[in-house]
Amino acid sequence: MWHPGLLTLVAVFGTALLVCSGLILTQRWHGKLTLDHDLNGVQKIHQRPVPRIGGVALFAALLAGGSAAWWFDDPLTPQILTLLACGIPAFLAGLFEDLTKRVGIRTRLYASFISAIFAVWAMGAHLTRLDTPGLDYVISFLPVSVFFTCFAVGGITNSVNIIDGLNGLAAGSVLLMLAGLAAMAWMVGDPLVLKLCLLGMVAMAGFLLLNYPFGGIFLGDGGAYLAGFWLAECAVLLLARNPGVSTWAVLLACFYPFWETAYSIYRRHIVGRVSSGQADMGHLHHLIFKRISTSGLVPSVPAWLRHGVTSGVIWMMVLGCQLIAVTFTENTLVLALFTATMAIVYHTAYGRLSANDQFTQSSDEGVISVKGV
């Protein structure tokens, strides 16, 4: 007899894989709404129209996980379904953008704030400490705590959308980050956060089978926002429910999308004097992809393999962050030092990759959340 928990994970994986397969096989019927037809946008580096509604499969998979948990009388069922319900505003805002191309980034960001507010109200998911002198006192006030939590959840939600630019990059990164949070939840004995992380990981794995490395389907804004929200709330719940886990451990676990977003704002708004919401080819994954493509060492390598190698390189960075965060889960000083070190490493690598690179210049075309895979 299989364990009910294992059967639940199988249901999640199978649903993600089946729905993705169905969307790919039926694209001739819904393609006018769901295919990424514009191949000339500033961040477009794929070569054929691809369904960009993988978020539907992700939502269906998480719903299947909640339903299976209910079927097996899992006591965590209410929390699973509640968190998924809280994420609906963020998911729908992204999905409507996928279908209409008319939902602005601010609207999607506001929708993620609404989802975060719902999670605060329904699950008590808000931060009460930052493990940083001075800031801990400020965030101890409930209004400040709620505001900061909504800002942080919205930021991480949007940041996953920003890194969704290559086959498997966002989904694989989220899977690894959830794995790090799951390991910390297991270490401190938190079954709820562990279960939520596992559901998200398996849903991502089912999607990745058809997304990486060939790019048969994209997460789309709906999928990226739902994945980002799920990741952010797992992080918040882990901290809210477990005082022994350092905030810096969670920050390091989520370092890549967080720092990619912060650095993008810095280089665009402060250095480049352009809107931080303007699309360009200056993200770290774009620079690595271009360096691999123009290195001359592998001129005949197909695009899908270059996508795969680039995502793999960044996954190694994400994995390193998880290993450090899990190893020093309760050591705030060490974690803060490692976080600062990662920021320096990122800045140094970015500087070398972007030297004399014409594609780091901003463009007036497109939007920040283009799914160029």
Tens-digit pLDDT profile for residues 81-133: 999 999 999 999 999 999 999 999 999 999 999 999 999 999 999 999 999 99
List the structure tokens of 315. 């996954």
- Do the domain assignments include residue 135? yes
- Do the domain assignments include residue 161? yes
Residue 1 has pLDDT above 60, yes or no: no
- Do the domain assignments include residue 372? no
| Predicted model pTM | 0.91
- Do the domain assignments include residue 371? no
- pLDDT value at residue 270: 64
Among candidates 102, 161, 113, 219, which has minimal Cα distance to 369? 161
Contact (Cβ atoms closer than 8 angstroms) between residue 86 and residue 122: yes
Domain count across the chain: 1
- Do the domain assignments include residue 14? yes
Neighbours of 26 (CB within 10 A): 12
Cα–Cα distance measured from residue 339 to residue 320, given in angstroms and rounded to the nearest whole number = 11
Using alpha carbons only, give the angle 110, 60, 101 rounded to the nearest 5 degrees. 45
Q: Range of 64's domain?
A: 4-360
- Do the domain assignments include residue 373? no
How big is the chain by its Cα radius of gyration, in Å?
20
Residue 42 has pLDDT above 50, yes or no: no
- Do the domain assignments include residue 103? yes
- Do the domain assignments include residue 366? no
Tens-digit pLDDT profile for residues 146-182: 999 999 999 999 999 999 989 999 999 999 999 999 9
Mean pLDDT, to the nearest integer, of 138-152?
97
Mean pLDDT over the full length of the chain: 89
Cα–Cα distance measured from residue 316 to residue 252, given in angstroms and rounded to the nearest whole number = 14
